[in-house]
Amino acid sequence: MVVQALKDQGVDVVFGYPGGAVLPIYDEVFQQNDIRHILVRHEQGAVHAAEGYARSTGKPGVVLVTSGPGATNAVTGLTDALMDSIPLVVLTGQVPTFMIGNDAFQEADTVGITRPCTKHNWLVSDTKTLSGTLHQAFHVATSGRPGPVLVDIPKDVQFASADYTPPQKARIDHYQPQVKGDMDEITELVQALEKAKRPIFYTGGGVINSGPAASQLLRELVDATGVPITSTLMGLGAYPANGKNWLGMLGMHGLYEANMAMHDCDLMINIGARFDDRITGRVDAFSPGSKKAHIDIDPSSINKVIRTDIPIVGDVGHVLEDILKVWKSRGRKINREATQKWWAQIEDWKKINCLAYSQTGKAIKPQHALSRLEALTKDHDRYICTEVGQHQMWAAQYLTFNDPNRWMTSGGLGTMGYGFPASIGVQIAHPEALVINVAGEASWLMNMQEMGTAAQYRLPVKQFILNNERLGMVRQWQELLHGERYSHSWSEALPDFVKLAEAFGAKGILCKDPADLDDAIIEMLNFDGPVLFDCLVEKHENCFPMIPSGEPHNKMLLGEASTKDAIGSKGAVMV
C-alpha cells in the first residue's frame, strides 16, 4: 500500500535508513524497481537530501526512516523544511499500536515531537485509512505554502491488509488554500505602482515555490515597468542576476544599494517573502516612508512582522498574472521621470562598490576563491548548495543565479550540515549537472558521514570548503560585538581533508596558494566522482556588508576595500 501510493504520486526516489519498525515497508521496496532508494548514513542527511531534491526539481522530496531515534534524527531537517517552505513527505515506522505508550524499544511520540516542525502529521492506527492518508499527505505538502508533513505508521498496520484507495478517491477537499488574489487589492496595488516615485520589488522564496511560471511573470513585470528588484537569500534566481533591473541580495549581508533602496523607497512590493529579521534590521526603523504591499499565499505571514497597506493573499503566480493584466489594461502607466531619478540615486549607491576586496599576499581571500569558482563554472549546467556561515553569505554575494531552483541553502533555520546531503539530493535529481556545495570546514563536518553515500552511488558532487580553521561567522560576531573574546570559535583538531576523502574512496584536493587556485578548481571539475576540495583561506576575513544587530537596515558596516576609496577610511566603517 505504501509503495503503491508513492508510485501513484509519481515518486521516483526515496531517501532513507532502515530499522526494525519500518522493515515491512523496506521489504516491499526491495521487491520493486520503479522507485529508487538512496541509503544515507544519518536520518538528518536523508531529510536534507530530500530537501535538495525538492528544491531543484519542484517535486516533493520523500523520506523513509524508522521509529524512535530514526524519527528524532529527522527533526532538524523537518524544522529546516518548515522554515524554508520545502515540500517533503516523511514516512516513519512506529512500534505496534498495542505497544504505543509503553516505552517499547525504539518508541518515541513521533507525532507529538514533530507537530511543531511539520505542516501537518498523522499517526495511522488503521490500515484502511493508510493509503488515503498518504495521498492527503502529498496534497498538504504541496498545496498552499509548501512544507514538510509526516506520516507515522505502526508496525502492525504495515503487516495488515486492506483495500487500496487511489489518489482520485482520497479526501483532499478539506484543505484548499486560496490561490487567487482579491482583484480590488490588486487594482489598488497597480494604482500605487503607476504613481510611485521610488518603487522597488522585494522578492523571496515564495516566487520560486510558486513554480517556473511565477518567475517568468515576475521577469515580465519587472522588465516592462523598469522598477528595481532585490531578493532575499531564498529568492535568488527568480529574477536573473544578469537582468538590467537587478540590485542584488538585500538583508544583513546584502548589498549596500539594495538595502538603501529598500530604506528610501516610497512603494515596497513584497512578493513571496516574509519580512524576516535578517531583512528588516530594527523593525521600528524599517523603510519608514514607504507604502507596503505584501503578496503571500500564507495569510499568517501578512502583518505578522511588518504592517502592510495592501495585503494580498494568494499564490504568487496567479497574483502576478492578474497584476500584469490590470496594469496593461490601464495603459501600462509608470512614473517614468521620477523612476529615472530613482535609478540615478541607485547608481550613486552602487559606486560604493560594497563587494570590493583586495587579493594580496599569499593567503587566499575567500571572496577571491568564490570569484574564481564563479568564473570557471558559470557557463556549466550548475547547481549550488551551501552550508551555513560566512561562506554561505559570500556564495550569495559572489555567485550568480539566472534561473530559479539552482540555489539550495538553509535560510530560516540556518542549519549547519545542510549543504552536503542537500547536494547529494540535487545530484540524484540531476545526474549530468555540475553540483557544488560551498562549505565551511566546521559546517561540513556536521554531516561528513554522507561522503559514504556519495561514494556508494558514485555521485560527482563537489565539496568546495573555504577552510579558515574557525567557526567563521561566530568568530566575526565575537570580534565585532563581543570585544574580540573568541570563546570556543577556533577549530583546533581538524582532519586532513585530502586523506579523509581518500579514506571514503573520493578525491581530495588541497589548495593554499592563490596562484594554484584556477588549476585546482579545474582539476576538481574534471574529476568524474565526488571531490573534497580543501581551500585554505584567510583566517580572520570578515563578511561585509553587514547590518549589526539592533541597527536599522540602512546602517551597514562596509569593509576596508569598499570604504577606503569612497569615504577615505580604513577598516570596517558604519555607513
How does DSSP assign 370-408, residue by residue? HHHHHHHHTTSSEEEEE-SSHHHHHHHHHS---STT-EE
**Domains identified in the chain and CATH numbers:** 2-169 (3.40.50.970), 183-350 (3.40.50.1220), 366-536 (3.40.50.970)
What pTM does this model have?
Answer: 0.96
State how beta strands 573-574 and 557-558 pair: antiparallel
The CA-to-CA distance between both ends of the chain, in Å, stands at 61
32 is catalytic: no
State how beta strands 120-123 and 148-154 pair: parallel
CB 428 within 8 A of CB 14: no
Average pLDDT score over residue span 156-183: 95
Tens digits of residue pLDDT in 430-446 = 999 999 999 999 999 99
Cis ω before 545 (30° cut-off from 0): yes
Residue 203: all three cell numbers together: 522578492
Cis ω before 299 (30° cut-off from 0): no
Q: What is the pLDDT of residue 572?
A: 54
Tens digits of residue pLDDT in 332-349 = 999 999 999 999 999 999
Tens digits of residue pLDDT in 77-132 = 999 999 999 999 999 999 999 999 999 999 999 999 999 999 999 999 999 999 99
CB 114 within 8 A of CB 84: no
- Tell me what the pLDDT averaged over the chain comes to: 96
Catalytic residue among 260, 473, 524, 546: 473
Q: Which residues pair with 557 in a beta bridge?
A: 546, 574
What residue spans of 238-330 are helical by DSSP H?
A: 256-264, 277-280, 316-329
462 is catalytic: no
105 is catalytic: yes
What are the residues whose beta carbons fall under 8 Å from the beta carbon of 290, sequence distance 6 or more? 265, 266, 267, 268
DSSP single-letter state for residue 462: E
Look at residue 570 and tell me whether its pLDDT is greater than 50. Answer: no
What are the residues whose beta carbons fall under 8 Å from the beta carbon of 337, sequence distance 6 or more? none
Look at residue 574 and tell me whether its pLDDT is greater than 80. Answer: no
CB 300 within 8 A of CB 233: no
The one-letter amino acid at 541: E
Residue 64 — φ and ψ, nearest 5°?
Answer: -130, 115
Lowest mean pLDDT among 114-128, 155-169, 488-502, 554-568: 554-568
CB 113 within 8 A of CB 71: yes
The one-letter amino acid at 361: G
155 is catalytic: yes
What residue spans of 483-556 are helical by DSSP H?
A: 497-503, 517-526
Catalytic residue among 106, 191, 216, 456: 106
Among 155, 114, 124, smallest CA distance to 24 is for 155
Reported confidence tier of residue 18, pLDDT bands at 50, 70, 90: very high
Catalytic residue among 43, 185, 441, 541: 43
Report how far residue 199's alpha carbon sits from residue 333's, in angstroms, rounded to the nearest whole number: 13
Q: 370-385 burial by CB neighbour count: b if 16+ within 10 A, else e?
A: bbbbeeebeeeebbbb
CB 71 within 8 A of CB 49: no
502 is catalytic: no
Catalytic residue among 44, 107, 138, 155: 155
How many Cβ atoms are within 10 Å of 90's Cβ, its own excluded?
A: 31
Catalytic residue among 105, 178, 197, 341: 105
The one-letter amino acid at 394: W
Look at residue 563 and tell me whether its pLDDT is greater than 90. Answer: no
Residue 169: all three cell numbers together: 478517491
- Chain centroid to Cα 61, Å, comes to 14
Tens digits of residue pLDDT in 389-430 = 999 999 999 999 999 999 999 999 999 999 999 999 999 999
How many Cβ atoms are within 10 Å of 467's Cβ, its own excluded?
A: 26
Report how far residue 529's alpha carbon sits from residue 506's, in angstroms, rounded to the nearest whole number: 7
Tens digits of residue pLDDT in 182-241 = 999 999 999 999 999 999 999 999 999 999 999 999 999 999 999 999 999 999 999 999
Look at residue 566 and tell me whether its pLDDT is greater than 60. Answer: no
Q: Report how far apart, in Å, the C-alpha atoms of 441 and of each of 189, 224, 464 are.
A: 46, 44, 9
Q: What is the pLDDT of residue 565?
A: 45
How many Cβ atoms are within 10 Å of 228's Cβ, its own excluded?
A: 24
Q: What is the pLDDT of residue 568?
A: 38
Report how far residue 217's alpha carbon sits from residue 215's, in angstroms, rounded to the nearest whole number: 5
